[in-house]
Structure 1
Amino acid sequence: MTTKQNPEVTVLMPVYNGEKYLKEAMISILNQSFQDFEFIIINDASTDNSAEVIKQFDDKRIRYFENSENLCLSRTLNKGLNLSKGNYVARMDQDDISLLDRLEKQLNFLENNKEYGICGSFIENFGAKEGIEIYPVIDELIRIHLLFYSTFAHPSVMFRKSFFEKFNLFYNSEFEYCEDYDLWSRAKKHFKLANINEVLLKYRVHSTGMSVVGKNKQDKMADFVRNNQLKDIGINSNSEELRIHHSLICNMFENSDEYVNAVEKWLLKLIEGNKTYNIYDKKTFHEFLGKFWFEVIKLRLDTGLKCWKKYIGSELRKSIYNNKNTRKIFFRALINEFKNFLGGTCV
């Protein structure tokens, strides 16, 4: 239990019908190596025995609140932010497990890097899906990746509360299903972001995923978030451009000349927009987009030297990718050109 008037860290955990794994999640927080924290738990009108599980814990660090009606995640999180007393706020979900030194390592990073406002980490999936998920670590790469998708595991983050207050940052309930992605995309305009390059949270994956309706809503909201960021580099994207953008995010590349041309046009438009508005480091931005161009071009290697000419003649190749990959494209295209000439099967 902290002896100070206010704790250094607030751990914020909304709960909705989480009785099955709630005890394990709570224990992982209460047993942290860093102990100077308050643990705000907000029961969002659960209809199961979540309240009973929470009340089994007799720990003065726990501050327990109940919503009289279901507010959903965004509004519940905002309520928790308003209630928080810590200098830093760490998110936690009702079914995940924080590793023993999670709070300590994130706090140390933010204390030693005063220009940073958000710190996440890698996560380890368990349950219905297993494996390590890694995220970009460096601020510039995080900011660029956010133009395409979220770069934080939401329950892994810790953020500096004073920055959120200074820049009036909060969860927007209009972006339910991707409220975190929207928040990060706004936060990146004001301060630096980081991920610690090690696993600090075990993320439970359930066999029953999001419904089709929920997934469609999430995709729609995520497109709004991307559109808002595209406007920062002067781009008002149309539906076809968003389709191309989304295909790059999901690695749903199309093996056609029309698609390759559309991708080239879109990536060059992004580069030109950034040149004008100077939002992202130009070299890093070019290299990032160049990886998309390289992967898309590889699908057309069956066309032989036609593919090579498209690659080598593009402004994307000239300033973005390295000689090793240029040689790789050339030799594979040359082999396929030879096979096509002989009437063989492309590789």
Structure 2
Amino acid sequence: MDPLVSIIMPVYNCDAYVDESIRSILQQTYTNWELIIINDGSEDKTFDKITNFKDSRIKLINMKIHKGLSSAFSEGYKLAKGDYILRHDGDDISASKRLELQVSYLENKPKAAMVSCLISCFTLEPIFRSDCIFIERIQNSYVHYDQIEKAILGGFIPILFPTLMIRKSAYDEIYIENKNLSFDDQTTVLLKLIELCPVEKIDNILYHYRRHPTAYHIINRKDYEQDTSRLLKNTSVKNQLKYREFYGDLSSSTKNKLIINEKSPIRVLMLVDALNIGGTETHVLNITKQLIEMGVYVVVATSGGPMEAIFSSYGIKIIKFPFDGDYISNKKKNGMIKQLKGIVDKENINIIHCHLFASMQLASELYRNYQLPYVVTIHGLFYPNDILFSTCIKASTVIAVSIPVKNMLDRKLGNRIKSKIVVIPNGISSDIIKGSDINRDIRKELGIPQSGKILCYCSRLDWNKTDAARVFLFSFSKLLDKFPNLHALIIGDGNGRESIEKEAQIINDMAKDKVVHLVGAKANVIPYYLKSSVVIGTGRVALEAMICKKPVIAIGNQGYTGIITEKTKAIQWEMYFGDHAALEKPNVSKLADDITFLMSEIERRRVIGEWGKSWCEKKFSISKTTKEIVQAYKNALNI
């Protein structure tokens, strides 16, 4: 039997238009529908007009008191029995094939939660004609889901809610009974649906959107624009869209909750400006987990970000704090310090550990006002001089994650902090493999033959690392004739992704096959490393790949340092795998030669992989590095 469509039509004082709107439903070529009309306390002849229609599929709810569009919709939704839901405005018109085409789309795409369509915008009022031309053109310019999501990230919603047909199962998942919204509209619901699942439009005009003087969004235009602007500034919405692949990957794995030691004598407030996807944030996650496992009490204060979900999945306590940019203005400083002091007092914090620019400024200010000791970790060479001078000198300990970072601090701050600097690298543990889905069939997911060989590049696609990704792609393209059935995998996201996607498409077109696969940012990269022959990357990527027994070619922000081997381990550590220093600039021919060597020498790959795992376990053990951090805390607290 054909699925039932529940059409919910809230109406209020629209007697001039409701006849035409209802007739457009009665004229549908698809006939298995129910029309639930909620007369929201209309004071004109709307109710009388509706009662003129005699069709058993029409159900009328007559509300004596006007409650608003969202509340009226909720009343209708409670009665809906359909497999699919749509809201139809009482002054608009649906094309006769609308239901037929939208039902067909969703039946043929069972993973799609909803579908929209193109519109025509019409009016009988000369004053609205230019508006109609603009609305129609701009709404119909965004059809594919990636175009729609880029528009939302840019601050514009190119979907009219009544154009959507939605699976009831999806709507049930995000259902909000809108009673106390700041504005009586369903933009909140629309954004929650788009967070849940991508949406695209059928490339046909199926909805006719009317503009007239008493239209809801005409009367309430200012409130609507303000509310929409507020919603689009919500970082959780933008993170969900920008990192959809990342969150999808995260949802497929479960985490063991950490046991929190509420009675620990060491109570740390971990300050980190944001929890974006990158090496710094992953380092903070891993040391926080290890500290908690060692019995240290840790709370993380942050503005949030895509990695917040991972922290929370382990049971790590997150306190949202309004870090706003890299520098704290004097105007905001006092209020932020009071707020942080409130957290310190409530959680009985006795030491701060800070990592990025704003965090460092606030930690030093807390010390100045309250003598609360703090530890700073410097993660790279990108810290501004004024931040280093104003925050490192009063710190109890300054942790450099590499030798080049220590040298930079020595050069800039000299004897003022010389006795305070310690080098503690990022830590790694083979437990990251145990917690991964090691049997996940990456080849099947990406359409790579089981006999295919994979080269994996992993990095944030920003700054110089986008150039490094480009060098990798060019090197890969040179090897396609030499190594048949070779595939390139790029993990990562950032501002450079769009340009990398274009270059990847050129290579795929040349190869007449999909040989370059961009998978975006991933919460769990280990299954991808395990299926790769060679991993190209730097910093934490290098450590994680080596712990997976994979040979690594190091290339980072500063440049190229080549294959990581027992012979080159000293210089690789001294340069932190090309991220903090380098032997040379990234070079297509050099990278191609090193890949060729590793792909041609199967036994050599195995030996390098075995050695790399052993070296990581000795040099970069997470338990060892975290014990050194705990010692820094104890020194600061004199315990």
Q: Taking structure 1 as the reference length, what is the TM-score of the superposition? A: 0.63
Per the alignment, residue 154 of structure 1 pairs with 161
The CA deviation string for residues 3-59 of structure 1, in whole angstroms up to 9 with x for no partner, is x7x961011110101111111110000110000000100000000111111111110
1:211–1:36 CA distance, 2 compared to 1 (3 A):
closer
Deviation of the 1:70 alpha carbon: 1.0
Deviation of the 1:126 alpha carbon: 1.1
Per the alignment, residue 300 of structure 1 pairs with none
Greater Cα shift, 146-155 or 226-235: 226-235
Amino acid at match of 2:167: R
Cα pair 1:227 1:237 within 8 Å, conserved:
no
SS at match of 2:78: helix
Amino acid at match of 1:89: I
In 1, distance between residues paired with 2:78 and 2:500? 40
SS at match of 2:17: helix
1:155-194 matched pairs, under 5 angstroms: 155-165=162-172, 167-170=173-176, 172-175=178-181, 177=183, 179-194=185-200
Matched, 1:20 2:16: yes
In 1, distance between residues paired with 2:117 and 2:213? 24
In 2, distance between residues paired with 1:285 and 1:159? 34
Per the alignment, residue 36 of structure 1 pairs with 32
Amino acid at match of 1:158: M
SS at match of 2:199: strand
Amino acid at match of 2:192: R
Cα pair 1:178 1:222 within 8 Å, conserved:
no
Q: Taking structure 2 as the reference length, what is the TM-score of the superposition? A: 0.35
Deviation of the 1:174 alpha carbon: 4.3
SS at match of 2:64: coil
Per the alignment, residue 360 of structure 2 pairs with none
Cα pair 2:84 2:167 within 8 Å, conserved:
yes
Greater Cα shift, 169-178 or 125-134: 169-178
In 2, distance between residues paired with 1:89 and 1:281? 37
Deviation of the 1:122 alpha carbon: 1.2
In 2, distance between residues paired with 1:203 and 1:217? 20
SS at match of 2:189: helix
1:194–1:170 CA distance, 2 compared to 1 (3 A):
farther
Q: Over the residues paired in the alignment, what is the CA RMSD in angstroms?
A: 3.4
Per the alignment, residue 52 of structure 1 pairs with 48
1:209–1:41 CA distance, 2 compared to 1 (3 A):
closer
Per the alignment, residue 220 of structure 1 pairs with 226
1:205 to 208, 211, 223: 211
Deviation of the 1:135 alpha carbon: 4.5
In 1, distance between residues paired with 2:232 and 2:101? 31
Matched, 1:283 2:497: yes
Deviation of the 1:206 alpha carbon: 0.9
Per the alignment, residue 252 of structure 1 pairs with none
In 1, distance between residues paired with 2:109 and 2:151? 21
Amino acid at match of 1:168: I
Deviation of the 1:214 alpha carbon: 3.1
Cα pair 1:12 1:41 within 8 Å, conserved:
yes
1:1-347 matched pairs, under 5 angstroms: 8-127=4-123, 128=125, 129=129, 130-131=132-133, 132-133=136-137, 134-147=140-153, 148-165=155-172, 167-170=173-176, 172-175=178-181, 177=183, 179-207=185-213, 214-229=220-235, 232-233=238-239, 283-284=497-498
1:238–1:179 CA distance, 2 compared to 1 (3 A):
farther
The CA deviation string for residues 156-183 of structure 1, in whole angstroms up to 9 with x for no partner, is 2111111111x23336444465733222
1:211–1:97 CA distance, 2 compared to 1 (3 A):
closer
Sequence identity percentage: 27
Greater Cα shift, 168-177 or 79-88: 168-177
The CA deviation string for residues 98-118 of structure 1, in whole angstroms up to 9 with x for no partner, is 111001111111111122112
1:8–1:46 CA distance, 2 compared to 1 (3 A):
same
| Structure with the larger RCO, 1 or 2 (CA within 8 Å, 6+ apart) | 1
1:69–1:209 CA distance, 2 compared to 1 (3 A):
closer
SS at match of 2:223: helix
Per the alignment, residue 376 of structure 2 pairs with none
In 2, distance between residues paired with 1:97 and 1:173? 27
In 2, distance between residues paired with 1:9 and 1:100? 14
In 2, distance between residues paired with 1:200 and 1:125? 11
Give unpaired runs (5+ residues) of structure 1. Answer: 240-270, 288-347
Cα pair 1:141 1:284 within 8 Å, conserved:
no
Give unpaired runs (5+ residues) of structure 2. Answer: 240-303, 306-321, 326-461, 467-491, 502-639
In 1, distance between residues paired with 2:110 and 2:95? 24
SS at match of 1:219: helix
SS at match of 1:199: strand
